[in-house]
Structure 1
Amino acid sequence: MHRYLYGRLGQALLVLWAAFTLSFFLLQVLPGDAILIKFQNPDMGLSPAQIADMRAVYGADAPLWRQYLHTLVDFIRGDFGYSVQTGVPVAQLLTTNLPPTLRLAVCGFLLAAILAGGMALLAGLTSVRWLRGIWHALPSMFISVPTFWLGIVLIQVFSFRLKWVPVINPGEWAGLILPILTLAVPICAPLAQILIRSIDEVQTLPFVAVARAKGASRAGVLWRHVARNAVLPALTIAGLLFGELIAGALITETVFGLNGLGQLTQQAVNNQDVAVLQAIVVISATAFVAINLLVDLLYPLLDPRLKMPAGAAL
């Protein structure tokens, strides 16, 4: 088990290094220069020599390989550098903007899991064919809905027409109702599809027929015997969906005008603030890798058959 854990940690570190390296070189080849964009502004009145000094301060005049090594070492230390546009440490910007995004993402994922589980259980308990067809079709409809379009529709319906949820100067939690719903609906669709398909497959296994023959109710068999065996494939897709969840959160924040990584990313893209973009990519990759590592470690707890012997190889 320890060898497996160390191997997975090594793979996670390799993925993070690859994400850092790829994002670094892709951001470096983008046209434009954030330092020139800011300091060549005539209103600042800086001379070419002063602009060259600013480039030296930010390390932009160093060879690319030296910039890469310097940035990599700083990231390992937890130093993400300084934002060219704001002049403050990138870590300070992340400390301010990351918690709202995490709150939105966690709440959206919890609601998505509840919606997916509800649709799967209703599809498993319903014996009427046409009603089961509706529950099977709902995830396909939800997954095809664009996040930005859904957010705009929810604002139009629930805020402007019904006036149930304010979007102008809302409270701390009232302002999250529609964004959480916008984020949860597309995410719950693939989870529901996997759960429904897994439940249908598990219900055909012999032990389900034996449990029903002993007098267990349909709901009891579904809850005690089928659900636990059907949840593993959904757990896999849940880990893979985390990257999409973060991307959806960024779009949702932009649609609803929320403070978070979405707004920070938009500003960094507009100003070509490479240090901020690099940090956001690495933070997102770290969250994605951590969630998938956690999912892998949860497998043996849910299914004892997956526990590795003490001396088993990777």
Structure 2
Amino acid sequence: MKFLALVARRLGATLVVLWLVASAIFLAIRAVPGDPAEAIMGGPGSQASEQALAEARAAYGLDRPVLVQYAMFLGRLAVGDFGTSYSLKRPVAEVMGEVLPPTLLLASCALLTAWLLATIGGLLAVRATALGSALGSLAEIVAAALPHFWLGSVLIMLFSTALGWLPAVDTGTPAGMLLPVLTLALPLAGFLTQLLRDSLATALGSDFVLAARARGESKTSVFFRHALRHSMLPVLSLSGWAFASLLSGAVVVEAVFARPGLGRALLSAVLARDIPMVTGIALFSAAVYMLFMTLADAIASMLGGRVHAA
């Protein structure tokens, strides 16, 4: 029942978030100077006639009052109709179906890599000396603050230009994915390692660890059976936010490494004022964020129950 209640609350929150995102996009697009009909006709350089622009406005309902446009906009979204891309002249859902898998693969690999690096960093931090702990903490802060575009450029210069080990652009091979994955994963790993380090320090000094040691359990058993399991819970709870941040970071990474995906499609849509495409991608990103937040909270809740039972 608790799980169902959690899902129901998250579902309601998801609908509210999607409505707010859609409303913000509707208002933001109309606040940008320029005529949306020109974007439909191919942009200002298309030299479309006034008659053609008027016909485009009528076809897309842009000649109606703003409130009517807003109601029509929400009505189409409610039935899953994202419309047709202005620049590509294709259904938005069809285009997203093509660009979505590469981005989801990139974000998933980056999340797993960040988790692996954070776990290794947390384990090393527990056994480090005072100097090693200070250096590790500094490395975590620096990694978490690295901008994706700068980090990607440095990795290209180091591993592609200087050493020649890896391709500078995505080639569709595992080697071509390595640099984009590292570019996305390293800043997130720095943040997760800081969180895991603090959680481990708290868990190792808690009463349940002292009680386990008093029962005669070894240091290794206490660490892995109790301290590590407890310290993973707050990190796991942030996995939904982490995945959403990776999707947003993919906009930059896919552009740096010339990788096809949702990020490059969003960048192109923004530059072309492709309202349907921008709306579809933004709403999808919000939905994915809420979905992963729900899954992360549910898994953390179940694991938390098992941890307390142990």
Q: Report the TM-score when normalising by structure 2.
A: 0.91
Q: Which residue of 2 aligns with 1:312?
A: none
Report the more deviating stretch, 256-265 or 34-43.
34-43
CA gap 1:56/1:162 in 2 versus in 1, 3 angstroms: same
Measured in 2, the distance between the counterparts of 1:43 and 1:178 equals: 37
- 1:65 is aligned, of 49, 67, 73, to 67
Aligned partner of residue 235 in structure 1, secondary structure:
helix
Measured in 1, the distance between the counterparts of 2:291 and 2:108 equals: 14
Q: Which residue of 1 aligns with 2:278?
A: 277
Measured in 2, the distance between the counterparts of 1:235 and 1:140 equals: 20
Q: Report the TM-score when normalising by structure 1.
A: 0.90
**1:6-28: per-residue Cα shift (whole Å, max 9, x none)?**
22321221122111112221122
Q: Which residue of 1 aligns with 2:21?
A: 19
Q: Which runs of 5+ in 1 are unaligned?
A: 308-314
Instruction: Quote the offset at 1:53 in angstroms.
Output: 0.9
Measured in 2, the distance between the counterparts of 1:193 and 1:128 equals: 16
CA gap 1:172/1:65 in 2 versus in 1, 3 angstroms: farther
- 1:48 is aligned, of 43, 47, 50, to 50
Instruction: Quote the offset at 1:137 in angstroms.
Output: 2.5
Aligned partner of residue 241 in structure 1, secondary structure:
helix
Q: Which residue of 1 aligns with 2:167?
A: 166
Aligned partner of residue 238 in structure 2, secondary structure:
helix
Native 8 Å contact 1:112 1:184 kept in 2: yes
CA gap 1:73/1:128 in 2 versus in 1, 3 angstroms: same
- 1:108 is aligned, of 104, 107, 110, to 110
Aligned partner of residue 266 in structure 1, secondary structure:
helix
Native 8 Å contact 1:33 1:272 kept in 2: no
- Please say if 1:33 is aligned against 2:35: yes
Q: Tell me the amino acid that sits aligned with residue 92 of structure 1.
A: E
Aligned partner of residue 61 in structure 1, secondary structure:
coil
Q: Which residue of 2 aligns with 1:296?
A: 297
CA gap 1:50/1:170 in 2 versus in 1, 3 angstroms: closer
CA gap 1:78/1:38 in 2 versus in 1, 3 angstroms: closer
Q: Which residue of 2 aligns with 1:177?
A: 178
Native 8 Å contact 2:119 2:196 kept in 1: yes
**1:121-175: per-residue Cα shift (whole Å, max 9, x none)?**
1112x15222222333321110111110000000001011101001257343222
Instruction: Quote the offset at 1:43 in angstroms.
Output: 8.1
Q: What are the equivalent positions in structure 2 for 1:194-233 lying under 5 Å apart? A: 194-233=195-234
Native 8 Å contact 2:110 2:184 kept in 1: yes
Instruction: Quote the offset at 1:300 in angstroms.
Output: 2.4
Q: Which residue of 1 aligns with 2:269?
A: 268
Q: Tell me the amino acid that sits aligned with residue 84 of structure 1.
A: Y
Q: Which residue of 1 aligns with 2:152?
A: 151
Measured in 2, the distance between the counterparts of 1:247 and 1:304 equals: 32
Report the more deviating stretch, 72-81 or 37-46.
37-46
Native 8 Å contact 2:43 2:272 kept in 1: no
Count of residues paired in the alignment: 306
- Please say if 1:129 is aligned against 2:127: no
Give me the identity figure in percent.
Answer: 35
Q: Tell me the amino acid that sits aligned with residue 162 of structure 1.
A: L
RMSD: 2.2
Native 8 Å contact 1:191 1:238 kept in 2: no
Instruction: Quote the offset at 1:42 in angstroms.
Output: 9.1
Instruction: Quote the offset at 1:258 in angstroms.
Output: 0.8
CA gap 1:34/1:106 in 2 versus in 1, 3 angstroms: same
Measured in 2, the distance between the counterparts of 1:37 and 1:301 equals: 49
Q: Which residue of 2 aligns with 1:86?
A: 88
CA gap 1:135/1:220 in 2 versus in 1, 3 angstroms: farther
Instruction: Quote the offset at 1:40 in angstroms.
Output: 7.5
Native 8 Å contact 2:159 2:166 kept in 1: yes
CA gap 1:16/1:55 in 2 versus in 1, 3 angstroms: same
Measured in 1, the distance between the counterparts of 2:271 and 2:279 equals: 14
Measured in 1, the distance between the counterparts of 2:7 and 2:266 equals: 34
